[in-house]
A and B are shown apart, each in its own frame.
Chain A
Amino acid sequence: MATTASHTATGTATDPAAKLLEVRDLHVEFRTRDGVAKAVNGVDYAVDAGETLAVLGESGSGKSVTAQAVMGILDIPPGRITSGEILFQGKDLLKLKEDERRKIRGAGMAMIFQDALSSLNPVLSVGDQLGEMFVVHRGMSRKDARAKAVELMDRVRIPAAKERVTQYPHQFSGGMRQRIMIAMAMALEPSLIIADEPTTALDVTVQAQVMELLAELQRELHMGLILITHDLGVVADVADTIAVMYAGRIVEKAPVHEIYKAPAHPYTKGLLESIPRLDQKGQDLFAIKGLPPNLMNIPPGCAFNPRCPMAQDVCRTDVPPLARVTYEGLTAERRSACHFWKETLRG
């Protein structure tokens, strides 16, 4: 991990100052009985208002832990943020006191979780849970808050909102519950929404409804959206920029159209080739060999090297920096943490 310092220097140099959210060189680890799990190892990303950043990764890649650190809902201990900055509208959240952060949570940024049934309180009506946002943050009366809750449910297109506001989470279907989660996140019109696998638990036809709703509200309120997912299809549908994570680091960051056309990291390339396609009947699928690394024992050099078909000696010793990728016709910023991004790009 000796070379991570050099990569942060290149990672922050070109970013303009006025981003909505900027994560700089974030490191998070978990102390467990068996040792220290390095979940996030130097993550940099930024989102602007109106922009959608998709964070793509498999389980254990650190995508959710990064988001929890941003929201300030990381379990500490066993988690620990060892270094880095999280700048929200220019303010470093990690330097704020807990009561200051609480004010930002909900009003400034909000989160939508994967599993709506376990994220909602089963013994409170959805109206009470939605209204609570207004009572706590805006000091409204219960009655006004209830009216606001109905308004929100209308906005996320829950039919018969007036009647259903007194119902409990279990009385709603999976898709409707996810709409309530979205309504709750939107309640105070935050400028940033973090959606952690918002449609993974839903059926495809319902997933399409929910994603459409989310995209529409984002446009309307001009919010920044961080979409955390493992689904390359969902990403292609909604994202502007993609950050691919592996073993706690961003290995590739690119505009969505560029990355699908030509990935600049062997891991991204492997992922794209390993998914079966709806529009093609393929032969054997390409499978990335091996398994993701154990976070307590990340391989030296590039963490992907034991699974990489292109790995050379340098990959086993030097951590590749998240270097700038350039080629003719590329206008936006694009980065890859591979020593051989040029070769990967060529195919």
Chain B
Amino acid sequence: MADMAKTAGVAEKPVTTEPLLRVRGLVKHYPLTQGILIKRQIGAVKAVDGVDFELGAGETLGIVGESGCGKSTVAKMLVNLERPTAGEIQYKGEDITKLSGRALKAVRRNIQMVFQDPYTSLNPRMTVGDIIGEPYEIHPEVAPKGSRRQKVQELLDVVGLNPEYINRYPHQFSGGQRQRIGIARGLALRPEIIVADEPVSALDVSVQAQVVNLLDRLRREFHLSYVFIAHDLSIVRHISDRVGVMYLGRIVETGTDAEIYEHPTHPYTQALLSAVPVPDPDAREHRERIILSGDVPSPANPPSGCRFRTRCWKAQERCALEVPALAVPAEFRGVGGPAEHDSACHFAEEKHVVP
């Protein structure tokens, strides 16, 4: 079965150094209109406003951020559920945002999604067999009609469900089991990339660990690459090789898990990390907490310059005028070590916030 994954309908041969996925200047603006008959655009919600990242083969990229930072919109654009306003998503060197018809269908087979809510993302009137087998209706070349049932049962087994449950309905399963069904559906077409949008947020703690372990095992077994989107920083650290931190439509800092968690240089990352409660009561006395004031500004009217400046304790005049680029800050350039990673801040500074 493994060889099927390689028969993707993409024309270009991947260069060896080419990442699997390369995102450049990705933008999504949702228009705000006024008027009922004659709609005039009066502005735009800038949900995603210039995002760049790369995903290598076999790698897990974690994207963290608070609600409204645009992380789910990025996920939807990666699987082509939303068309970007601008920017490129290159899959093996080919820009998939320009594709349509047959070429798009072929690419979509290789990038699949696992959704957050296992209660609403499964059709209650379809059996588990129909849900997991539905991708084969769209891509019949993956599994001929006669072998589908068997393939679905194999998938159930892979995600740790009893293959005999194939004729049951979603309501007969618990939340964790439903998320396994969602994962099995994502795996059905043997994709190379799985985009998982908050896949464990809706689950109880004891069940969460089961699903996280399952995702980890599947990555190794099927050589998958993950884009793992979540608001829970602890889970992202556990599962990711590299992490990108988003704030108000932009990535503000990116690096390996050790670089981000142990040597953060962007003030937002530092505040975010310091706010996470750590399950260690001894830490509460000697741990420094950065408590941010206020709320995230509206993405319809983001602050000029650095978007974090309205809540930042370091903000100066320069921050309102100049947009900081996502690059290694000047003070860390060439110094080597874990502080040398991309951080979009004019006044980047290393700070240990995780005990």
Contacts and interface: CB of A to CB of B under 8 A. Distances in A.
Contacts of B231: 203-204
> What band does the interface of chain B fall in when counting residues whose beta carbon is under 8 Å from A?
35 or more
Given A206-B295, A286-B209, 7 more contacts: A59-B204, A232-B205, A234-B277, A260-B280, A275-B279, A276-B212, A281-B238
Given A287-B209, A288-B209, A277 B275 contact: no
6 contacts: A58-B206, A204-B276, A257-B282, A271-B206, A284-B216, A287-B209
A278 B281 contact: no
B67 to A, nearest CB: 6
B278 interface: yes
B277 A236 contact: yes
Nearest to B282: A257
A139 interface: no
Nearest to A204: B275
Q: How large is the interface on A (under 10, 10 to 19, 20 to 34, 35 or more residues)?
A: 35 or more
B257 to A, nearest CB: 6
Contacts of B212: 276, 285
A278 B282 CA distance: 15
Nearest to A240: B281
B257 A281 contact: yes
Interface in A176-206: 176, 203-206
A34 interface: no
Contact of B279 (A58, A206, A232, A284): A232
A278 B354 contact: yes
A232 B278 CA distance: 8
A272 B237 CA distance: 17
A205 B205 contact: no
A134 B291 CA distance: 32
A233 B204 CA distance: 14
Contacts of B284: 236-238
Contacts, number: 134
Contact of B355 (A208, A230, A279, A286): A279
A42 interface: no
Contacts of A173: 295
A208 B275 contact: yes
Interface string B49-72: 000000000000000001100000
A281 B281 contact: no
A270 B291 CA distance: 31
A239 B281 CA distance: 9
Interface in B187-236: 204-210, 212-213, 216, 231, 233-235
B271 interface: yes
Given A204-B231, A281-B257, A282-B238, A291 B207 contact: yes
B176 interface: yes
Contact of B204 (A206, A289, A292): A292
Contacts of A287: 206, 209-210, 213
B151 interface: no
A333 interface: no
Contacts of A236: 277-281, 283-284
